[in-house]
Amino acid sequence: MNAIGTVVLGGMISGTLLVVIFAPLFYVLIEMIFGRRKAALAA
């Protein structure tokens, strides 16, 4: 039981860290891609 809890806790911590790193990265990438398209349509 202790090993399962350790794996679950480790997965939750690593998942949280990955989201903290990659969510802003994907936001910036999508904003760059679609922001250019929107700016080109407005011009």
First vs last C-alpha separation in the chain: 61
pLDDT-derived band at 37, boundaries 50, 70, 90: confident
Helical residues (DSSP H) of 1-43, grouped into ranges? 2-42
Looking at the 3D structure of the chain, how many domains does it have? 1
User: 22: domain range?
Assistant: 1-43
**pLDDT at position 28:** 94
Q: Which residue has the higher pLDDT, 36 or 9?
A: 9
3-state secondary structure of 43: coil
Question: Does the predicted model carry a pTM greater than 0.75?
Answer: no
pLDDT digits (tens, 9 = 90+) for 20-31: 999 999 999 999
